[in-house]
Every structure is written in C-alpha cells, then in structure tokens.
Amino acid sequence: MPNLIDLTHTFTDDMPVYPGDDCSKLYQSNFIKNDGVNDHTIQSGMHVGTHMDAPLHMVEGGALICEFPVDKFQGRGVLIDARGIDVIDALLLEQYDIRQNDIILVWTGWDKKYRTNTYFKDWPIMTIEFAQALVDLKISLIGMDTAGPEMDESFPVHKTFLPNNVLIIENMSNLGALESVKNFIVHAYPAKYKADAAPVRVVAEVQ
C-alpha cells in the first residue's frame, strides 16, 4: 500500500461546477515555440473541484481561508463509511473513535459520479444533528466525496460547521482507498488566498 494516497480531483478545463456557478477555464496562454516559455491561465470561482470552505463563506465577518495557521490543515484522520446511506445522521458516529482536532472524511462513493450529469442530483446529505455532534467533539475539518454536506440551499449544515471553525472540504475523491487503513494522517493545505475558500490538495499519509 502506498504511504501517500491522493484524495483530490484533478483540476481541468472541463471541471463540473455547481449548478448556477460560472464555468471554470484553464488554458495554455503561452507556448515555448512562440513565447519562449509555456504558461497556463486559470479563471475560476473558489468552489470548484476539491476545495475548502472557510467561515466567511457563510458567516458575515467570518475568517478568511488565509487566516488559519498551517497546523489547522493536518491531523489524525477518521474515515466514516456512509456508503448506501441517503441521510447521514449522528447515530452513525457511535461506532467510531473520534477525538478533538480529528479530520473526519465521509465516504459515500459518490465521487464515481463526478463528471456525469447526475453528480449534482440527490447526493447523500448530512443532518444538522450529525454536524452538531462533530462540532461538540471539537473536530478540525470535515471532508466528503460529494458536492457538499446538504442540498438545502439555506445551508443549515454549513452554518453549523463554519461558525465553529470546522472547515469543509468538498468534492473529494478516492476515499475508498482508505477502506482497510487503520491509521492515517490527513494533509489538506488550501492555496493561501484572501478569500472565503480555496482549492486544496488533500493527501492521506498512511501510518
């Protein structure tokens, strides 16, 4: 088993975006033959591909993604197996050892639908009770292989996590690679943007 497991979707020019969001663009803007160098240009919102939400995304006056210390972005990982569950509730947590500052990854298998026309339809959702239980346990980050923790566009689950500085990683991939891993550390370092969110490269380090 590899020591490092990538849990991040590759950012490409044809990235799927949340319905209503502007499409992202990634293209080569300079070429060695003509310009002496290769260069690429990106134009994108922050909530595309594997990315991390900071409190400012949903909290007036909340913290920017750049304002958190780097040690916020790494910690002991816990994989929650939520495959086949449409509504992920707090009862599911009873079988897991969750500690303060853990990074919780919710595995639904939904990432297999990424880049299909069903990815943004009827994905598994988390209840407010699930979110509040994790807030009470004082976790650091919550990650998922879906477009978000809820489909309700009043965003009650976001508004449970983010005011409590539980940052949210959306659109993860490859969580199934951790199925048989007992101990791992998550490294999830977002780009240091002065913004409400940022792209993030998420890697699990197997212990």
H-run or E-run covering 158: helix 158-161
Residue 35 lies in a domain: no
pLDDT number for residue 14: 85
Strands 74-81 and 39-43, by their bridges, are unpaired
pLDDT number for residue 1: 56
The total number of structural domains that make up the chain: 1
Task: DSSP letter for 196, please.
Answer: S
Residue 38 lies in a domain: no
Residue 134 lies in a domain: yes
CA end-to-end distance (rounded Å), the chain: 11
Residue 17 lies in a domain: no
Range of the domain at 68: 46-206
The Cα 33–Cα 144 span in angstroms is 42
> What pTM was estimated for this model as a whole?
0.96
Retrieve residue 107's tokens.
């595995």
Residue 2 lies in a domain: no
Report the phi/psi class of residue 115: left, alpha or beta, with left for phi > 0 and alpha for psi in -120 to 50: left
CB of 199 closer than 8 Å to CB of 51: yes
Residue 9 lies in a domain: no
Retrieve residue 23's tokens.
């499409």
Q: What is the CATH number of the domain that holds 125?
A: 3.50.30.50
Separation in Å, CA 144 to CA 25, 71, 80, 178: 24, 20, 10, 13
Residue 120 lies in a domain: yes
Q: Which residues of the chain have pLDDT under 70?
A: 1-2
Residue 32 lies in a domain: no
